[in-house]
Amino acid sequence: MKRGLEGPAPEERPTPAGRRNKQGIRIDPEVEATHEPRRTVISALVAHEPGVLSDVSGLFSRRQFNIESLTVGPTDDEERARITIVVEEPDPGIDQVEKQLRKLVPVISVRELEPDAMRRELALVKVDAADPASVSAVADMYDATAVDSSPETATFEITGSRQKIEAAVETFSQFGIREVSRTGLTAMARGTDQTAGADLTAQPADEAKYGDNTQPADDD
Amino acid sequence: MSERAAKVTPTDDEQTDEQITDSAAPDAATEPDSAAETESETTAEPVTSGAEAVVRALENAGVEYAFGVQGGAIMPVYDVLYDSDIRHVTMAHEQGAAHAADAYGIVSGEPGVCLATSGPGATNLVTGIADADMDSDPMLALTGQVPTEFVGNDAFQETDTTGVTTPITKDNTFASDADHVGSDVTEAFALAREGRPGPTLVDLPKDVTNGETDREPDEPKTPDTYHVQERADSEIVAAAAERIENADRPVMLLGGGVIKGEASEACREFAIEHEIPVITTMPGLGAFPEDHELSLEMAGMHGTGYANMAITHCDTLIGIGTRFDDRLTGGIETFAPDAEVIHVDIDPAEISKNIHADYPLVGDAETVVEQLAAAVDESPAATKWRAQCQQWKSDYSMAYEAPEDAPVQPEFVVEALDEATSDRAIVTTGVGQHQMWAAQYWTYTEPRTWVSSHGLGTMGYGLPAAIGARLAADDDQEVICVDGDGSFLMTLQGLSVAVRENLDITVAVLNNEYIGMVRQWQDAFFEGRHAASDYNWMPEFDKLAEAFGACGFRIDDYDDVADTIEEALAYDGPSVIDVHIDPDANVYPMVPSGGDNGQFALTEDQL
């Protein structure tokens, strides 16, 4: 017996003129721009309870969001913690990161920080101290503070933007780096602007258009 | 023995507590806002233990049934359930408990409750929890856990249950003290039901359930950090309404969210008022009557040709309660490529996740459809488009060949079952070819009559789901499990439950002695190499049914179909029909994975 159904074959059917891109956006002149990944900082205020960090980190791995760093720490309210995440995603991905985070029950509020937000990271760098004078000169250049020293090593604390820390580590490397430990980025909105606070719960979920926040992140 | 010893102490305390509460009752009544609660409190004994608080929480939430399997760490809860009015259905396997609870949730709209012990009990629930999560079904899972002091020590039957289930639950909680455990349960119950439904889990260490407490659980309430937006932004509603009024080729796409949001009636009125053709997703089956002329039935991988043509060529797509899953969209690039998308969903994270929404409407489906109905003044001028859709209906008819001399065709069996049952009959399925035939050839006209595993695609879902559906359904609703031989074999131990509980369900196993869908793909994409898909031999399911104490039937010829179905339906209890179908029957139309919906294949050589 003949198997299958009757009807015009695929090549006999009309086909629509349009197309979508991989992000499900119809390609037409208005929204044609493909979205390139950009690095940005997302701050989340969460209930300070067991399992929140694993909820958040699990979400990122499960949904294959590209994260560069994730830091967590207490706030002035002992029932709340702040999680700061540096992600690198195209705009629709950043949008998804925010929405998926907001969906987690212990998450109170989520916000992508403006490019001018204050961003800081701390690094401990342990170097060979065979040439203490030169090491100290480099430390001064980067406002690094000596934390520990031994006959063979010196350890410095450097605080600042990602670029500053990378530059410092690069410069220190001439002496021979033993170990580097970095905290990842923490950040805060400037002035009276709120980073991610309790009153931001009813956030607009309805941004139809992307592209208002695409200027490159200035890390300092 | 230690179990008994542990119980003696609370019993002594019980009396003391009772006396205290009795004397305290008049004081409580003088407080104005507790007047309403006083009545319910006097009807029940005060709680004395964590386990009593857990069961009280379920009772207060109106839970009528619970599905589960006993075991060491959950025993304190079961001991309290023993005296409760909640009817506990003892399942043969925890997976079945989860599926039964899931199906109960689908049919009733209220969270289905399942219980299991720690370790293997909890891990056996995992498939069913993941299934409920993918399909946004309301479900509450309660798992026993080893006593808190042993947690983390790899104790006997210990599993990090909250860790394991974090990615597959809407939310989960490790109960940490007896005073709060009742409220942990009510909160989980509320979370499972509110907003976008989903499974929640409370892990119950044995010392917590055995622990003393006199704290009554709070009323079911979601946590303060949980927010649901009910109404969509009115400006976007207005813009979307204008788009609908000016549409040339509008289509409504109704997903499972329409059914969960009780929006079927509002959608039906809107579609009929404005004469907009309606497509459903698979979870949306029943959201719109398929016998209505505006219905194009189901779109997607095995959707009808006419639904796939309409969705491909529409210029305005009103998607309601759908997450634009890949089995629906096929390749993103070719999905409704000319359409402006109006997307209604209660979960903001679904908006523009897969398909960009030009008009994002976050809110409750029924509320937003009513908002749209109020905003749309003129029906779109789509006479030509409707005629085109009707033309496609006849061009791509679902009519199949069923020659007398060939083996029984599965489509015929599905239609015969549909014919023999009422409009409100409930269909449950496993996963595979039989599921697709059941979706395609049964005419769904009512919400909550299609109970299946969509997102996760769990073979073996059908029988335990039929058990849960039976208990949630009205007496006059038949419950039919259309199963496949492979799916049925995975969970058929559930027959013992159906027999013990004397549940009137009819299982029709479309038996081709293959994992048929895999065999179909192998024929299409793997040069017909039937690796591990060909069973070659299957037990005789009718006899197996008899061994369980159910009623068994067998169909080999067309002549047997109608009579046997009638007999099986007439049997008051579980019956199994082993239907030997054409082993080479395939499911069409078919859009290959990631393919263009408009280029669906009607035969194998078009793939």
Q: Which residue of B has its CA nearest to A26?
A: B337
Cα dist from B571 to B231, B232, B299, B565, B568, whole Å: 48, 49, 36, 10, 5
My answer on whether B514 and B453 are in the same domain is: yes
My answer on whether B379 and B415 are in the same domain is: no
Residue B301 bears catalytic tag: no
Residue B440 bears catalytic tag: no
pLDDT at res. A198 = 62
My answer on whether B57 and B147 are in the same domain is: yes
The answer as to whether B605 is a domain residue is no
Q: Read off the pLDDT of each residue in B414-418 and give the average, rounded to a whole number.
A: 98
Residues of chain A with pLDDT > 70, as a percent, come to 86
DSSP element (H, E) containing A158: strand A153-160
Q: Read off the pLDDT of each residue in B460-481 and give the average, rounded to a whole number.
A: 98
Least confident window among B34-43, B99-108, B284-293:
B34-43
User: Are the beta carbons of A146 and A155 closer than 8 angstroms?
Assistant: yes
Q: Is the pLDDT of residue B123 over 60?
A: yes
In B31-93, where does DSSP find H-type helix? 35-43, 50-60, 75-81
Range(s) of the domain holding residue B416:
410-588
Instruction: Say which of B223, B337, B351 has its CB closest to residue A26.
Output: B337
Phi/psi for B16 (5° steps) reads -60, -50
| Chain centroid offset of residue B483 CA | 16
pLDDT at res. A194 = 85
Instruction: Say which of B171, B348, B403 has its CB closest to residue A99.
Output: B348
Domain boundaries, chain A: 38-116, 118-182
Residues of A in contact with B586 (CB under 8 A): 3-4
CB of B604 less than 8 A from some CB of A: yes
Residue B156 bears catalytic tag: yes
pLDDT at res. A215 = 41
Give the per-residue SS3 of B107-161: HHCCCEEEEECCCHHHHHHHHHHHHHHHCCCCEEEEEEECCHHHCCCCCCCCCCH
Q: How big is chain B, counted in residues? A: 607
My answer on whether B369 and B487 are in the same domain is: no
pLDDT at res. A36 = 87
My answer on whether B292 and B378 are in the same domain is: yes
My answer on whether B478 and B534 are in the same domain is: yes
| Mean pLDDT across chain A | 86
Q: Which residue has the tokens 């040709």?
A: B305
pLDDT at res. A83 = 96
Where does the pLDDT of residue A195 fall: very low under 50, low under 70, confident under 90, or very high at 90 and above? Answer: confident
If you count DSSP H runs as helices and E runs as strands, how many of each does chain A have, helices first? Answer: 4, 9
DSSP element (H, E) containing B3: helix B2-30
Residues of B in contact with A3 (CB under 8 A): 401, 584-586, 588, 603-604
Q: Is the pLDDT of residue A68 over 50?
A: yes
Q: Read off the pLDDT of each residue in B131-149 and give the average, rounded to a whole number.
A: 98
Where does the pLDDT of residue A193 fall: very low under 50, low under 70, confident under 90, or very high at 90 and above? Answer: confident
Of B364, B395, B426, the one marking the end of a domain is: B395
Q: Is the pLDDT of residue A214 over 60?
A: no
Residues of A in contact with B599 (CB under 8 A): 10, 13
My answer on whether B185 and B98 are in the same domain is: yes
Q: Is the pLDDT of residue B156 over 80?
A: yes
The pLDDT tens digits for B524-555 are: 999 999 999 999 899 999 999 999 999 999 99
Q: Omega of the bond prior to B589 within 30 degrees of 0, cis?
A: yes
**Interchain contact, B335 vs A20, CB within 8 Å:** yes
Using CA atoms, how far apart are residues B128 and B456, in angstroms rounded to an integer?
Answer: 9
Among residues B153, B150, B143, B152, which one has the least CA distance to residue B175? B143
CB of B588 less than 8 A from some CB of A: yes
The pLDDT tens digits for B493-524 are: 999 999 999 999 999 999 999 999 999 999 99
Least confident window among B31-45, B374-388, B461-475:
B31-45
My answer on whether B495 and B583 are in the same domain is: yes
pLDDT at res. A188 = 93
User: Are the beta carbons of A97 and A220 closer than 8 angstroms?
Assistant: no
| Mean pLDDT across chain B | 93
How many C-beta neighbours within 10 Å does residue B95 have? Answer: 28
Structure tokens at B8: 């003696």
Structure tokens at B503: 């549940």
Architecture of domain A38-116: 2-Layer Sandwich (3.30)
The answer as to whether B606 is a domain residue is no
The SS3 assignment for A107 reads strand
Using CA atoms, how far apart are residues B330 and B552, in angstroms rounded to an integer?
Answer: 40
Among residues B162, B223, B168, which one has the least CA distance to residue B194? B223
pLDDT at res. A51 = 86
My answer on whether B238 and B174 are in the same domain is: no
Q: What is the CATH number of the domain that holds B551?
A: 3.40.50.970
Q: How many domains does chain B have?
A: 3
Q: Name the CA dihedral angle for A168, A171, A176, A182, rounded to a multiple of 10 degrees.
A: 20
The answer as to whether B25 is a domain residue is no
Q: Read off the pLDDT of each residue in B436-440 and give the average, rounded to a whole number.
A: 98
Question: pTM score, two decimals?
Answer: 0.90
How many C-beta neighbours within 10 Å does residue A220 have? Answer: 13
My answer on whether B175 and B247 are in the same domain is: no
The answer as to whether B552 is a domain residue is yes
Q: Is the pLDDT of residue A200 over 70?
A: no
Do domains A38-116 and A118-182 share one topology? The answer is: yes
The CATH code of the domain at A118-182 is: 3.30.70.1150
Among residues A166, A211, A209, A198, which one has the least CA distance to residue A68? A166
Q: Which residue has the tokens 């898909």?
A: B533
Q: Read off the pLDDT of each residue in B390-396 and give the average, rounded to a whole number.
A: 98
User: Are the beta carbons of B414 and B483 closer than 8 angstroms?
Assistant: no
The pLDDT tens digits for A21-35 are: 888 888 865 555 667
My answer on whether B329 and B451 are in the same domain is: no
The answer as to whether B220 is a domain residue is no
